Amino acid sequence: MKLISATPSPYARKVRITLAEKGIAFDLQTEIPWDSTTKTPEFNPLEKLPVLIPDKGKPVYESHFILEWLEAKYPAPQYYGIHPRTQDDLLFAKQVEVVSDGMCDACVMLFFEKQRENPSKEWNARQMRKVEGGLKALSEWVGEKEFLIEDRLTLADIAAGSVLGYMSVRFKMIPWREQYPNLATYVDRLEERDSFKNTKPSPQNITDKIV
C-alpha cells in the first residue's frame, strides 16, 4: 500500500497516524501537490493529497474518507479501532473531525491569500474567525481530558491532534497555546505517542506560482 503525502499536510497526518496505530505497513510517497511534478492528478480528480493507493483496487482520497475506508477494511479487534463504540460517540467524533478539517481548510486559505498581490483583509478576517471559533470549540470539548472520547485514542483525537500540530508549524502567530492551555496540555500528551512522534509536520518549499 502507498500513501501520497506532503510534509506539512495535517490531512495526510491523520492518515499516517491511523496507519501507524493500526500497524499497517505502507510506502510513503512525499510530494508537493502544488508543484507541476505532483502525481495526485493521476489518482484523484480533485488533484489533492492524501491519496491512499491499495495494492489491489482503486485509489482512496479525501482524508476523512480514507479513515472511514481504513476502519472498514482493517477493523477492530484485529486492528486498533479508531471509531468510538456508540453511535452518538461516533457522530461526535465525526463532528470533531469536521471542525478540525474546517480549521485546516481556513489555514490553507489564509496561507495562499497572503501570497496574493493585494490580500483581502475581509477574506483573511473571515478565515481567522473560523480558526478561532474552532479552537474555542476544541478547548470546550477537551476540557481537562486526556482523550476526547472513551478515555482512549479515537478519530476525534487524531483529527484534533493533527490540526493543533499543524498550527504549531504553520500558524505560530496565533497564540493558541497561551489562549487555551488545556489544548496545549492535550496535544503535548498526544505528541508523546509514536504515531504522532513519527509524523510531525514540517514546512515544504513550494516552487511553482500558485495564486
Ligand X SMILES: N[C@@H](CCC(=O)N[C@@H](CS(=O)(=O)O)C(=O)NCC(=O)O)C(=O)O
What does the binding site for ligand X look like in residue numbers (CB under 6 A)?
6, 8-9, 11-12, 33-34, 47-50, 62-64, 101, 108
State which residue, 60 or 180, has the beta carbon closest to ligand X.
60
In the complex, least distance from residue 66 CB atom to ligand X, rounded to whole angstroms:
7
In order of 81, 139, 149, 152, 190, the CA distances from 145 in angstroms are 20, 10, 9, 10, 11
Q: How far is the CB of 181 from ligand X (least distance, A)?
A: 28
Residue 127 CB, nearest approach to ligand X (Å): 14
* Cβ nearer to ligand X, comparing 50 with 81: 50
For the bound state, the minimum distance from the C-beta of residue 196 to ligand X, rounded and expressed in Å, comes to 17
Q: Which amino acid is at 152?
A: R
Q: Which CB sits closer to ligand X, 64 or 136?
A: 64
Task: Name the grid cell of 63.
Answer: 482524508
How long a stretch of residues is the chain? Answer: 211
Angle at CA 31, nearest 5°, toward 28 and 36?
Answer: 150
The residue (of 108 and 128) whose beta carbon lies closer to ligand X is 108
Cell of 68: 472511514
Instruction: Centre a 10 Å sphere on the Cβ of residue 186 and count the other Cβ atoms it contains.
Output: 25
d(CA 65, CA 55): 18
